Amino acid sequence: MENLWPENLTVTGTKAPVIILREQASLLGEATQNIVEAEVKNASPDMGGAEENDTGFRYVFYIVAPALGNYYYKLFTIWHSVDLYPVIIRPDQDIRDELYPDADEDGIQAESENEFIRMLKAIFHSGRTGNIIQALVSQSTAP
């Protein structure tokens, strides 16, 4: 039987948003000697994430403190269609107020991989994110 599919089906130059998130999650653990970690989870309807008929992809980025009974702090949620980009980012309310005061509750939009990375860097470098991580480290290492 003749194969009718093109040969370049797996060749892509674009990194999926979830891959970028997972890479950054592992780097947070390295930076804090795993005192504070990050985790990326698929959003489901019971998490206030994807709806039953949603054909896109939703992920939640959590900061986690294992020493505090695996305390989870939801930093942001992302959504994108099967096309990967654009990505809608819905940051924590305080982060949104700090970085994107004019953004509505639907979130901010990254049109490309580079823009997504730039927005993630801003979120990770925000004062609110730093305060959350510092507070969790302090509580996790308290005698």
Label residue 9 by pLDDT band (50, 70, 90).
confident
Q: Residue 50's pLDDT is what?
A: 43
Q: Is the pLDDT of residue 111 over 70?
A: yes
Q: Is the pLDDT of residue 17 over 70?
A: yes
Per-domain residue ranges for the chain? 17-135
Count CA within 13 A, CB hemisphere, residue 53: 0
Contacts of 53 (CB under 8 A, 6+ apart): none
60-85 pLDDT tens trace: 999 999 999 999 999 999 999 999 99
Q: Six-digit token pair at 74?
A: 């939801």
Q: What is the pTM of this model?
A: 0.88
Label residue 43 by pLDDT band (50, 70, 90).
confident
Q: What is the mean pLDDT of the chain?
A: 90
**79 touches 87 (CB < 8 A):** yes
Please give the Cα distance from 61 to 43 (Å, whole number).
10
